[in-house]
Amino acid sequence: MIKQFLDSPQSWQITLANAIHDPKELLALMELDSYPQEISKSIERGFSLRVPHSYVARMKKGDPNDPLFLQVFPLAIEDKTDPSFSLDPVGDLTATTVPGVLQKYIGRVLLITTGACAIHCRYCFRRHFPYTEHHAVKNYWREALQYIAQDSSIKEVILSGGDPLVLSDNRLANLVQKLEDIPHVKRIRIHTRLPIVLPERINESLLYWLANTSLQRVIVIHTNHANEIDQNVVSVLRKLSDIGCYLFNQTVLLRRINDEVDTLVNLSERLFEVGVIPYYLHMLDKVQGAAHFEVDLIKAQSLYKKLRAQLPGYLVPLLVQEQAGAPNKLPLFF
């Protein structure tokens, strides 16, 4: 039985509410007042700037090429349409079974628990996703839970979004308790960027319900550069590991951010130092507005060959691409 938690605003929620939304404020904090690039109009059309102050604190002031800054600043180049990019690059809408439930692969389903995130990464593959019509919380997860209960082949439920850890501990704990009541569900997998961008979210109440569920717990964090992993991040990752969570990382290969072999080596080494297994190195999902982040396949495979030569096998993430309709993520190096 997972206990209830107070619904009063917690410190992480206050911090999140105070996140930066104004590009000019971010430029001022970065000491880039004369930054020459134009700002994307997408911030006025639904995909706003959003970045917590603690994440900005890890950026190098005065550096317009800082790899953390480049992930979040909305450049005008986002507004350019590329015919080889789409609004739904991985086929999420086609894979939707009932509201908020995506089933692409055998034995597992993905729940769109929320459309909210703590940070708006400009390469996000769901930046155009119609969350209003397609999230499971819309009917208190009733249809989603019924769907899962009726399919005994489902062993794993993936909590995604948005970012599931934006939800309160009461809502998450109640959902997990309902999943515990489905006999064939063995584990939950949480895809989240919050331990990286808002580490204070990993508080005692979250650790309590995670520690006390009977389900196996897999947490897949999303980090793309070793500079994202400061001591606050290290501390919360170790707390998650200490309560028995299995920790993995997904990285997106991004032009000008991590498309150098030394950057990828440093990231894998740093992850392993703090108890996280490098899991996937994703090619960019070709979402409209993110073409300027793309690394071409020839360069990606060349980088990967060098990465394999410099690291032991257990520190080399799988280079993959997600393709709409495919039965699994496609490996790109043999």
Residues in binding site for [4Fe-4S] cluster: 117, 121, 124
CB atoms closer than 10 angstroms to residue 37: 14
Rounded CA-CA distance 108/187 in Å is 10
Separation of alpha carbons 238 and 233, rounded Å: 9
| 302/308 Cα distance (integer angstroms) | 10
Round to whole Å and give the CA distance between 158 and 29. 36
Range list of H helices, 213-260: 231-242
DSSP string for residues in 112-175 = E--S--SS--TT-TTTT--TTTS-GGGGTTHHHHHHHHT-TT--EEEEESS-GGGS-HHHHHHH
Decide if 42 contacts 122 (C-beta within 8 A).
no
CA separation for the pair 159, 157 (Å, rounded): 6
Cα 55 from chain centre: 15
Between CA 198 and CA 239 the distance in angstroms is 15
CA dihedral 307, 313, 317, 320 (to 10 degrees): 90
Strands 318-321 and 330-331 turn out to be: antiparallel
**Taking the CB of residue 6, how many other CB atoms lie within 10 A of it?**
10
Instruction: Decide: 141 and 100 in contact? Cβ < 8 Å.
Output: yes
Which residues are known binding-site members? 117, 121, 124
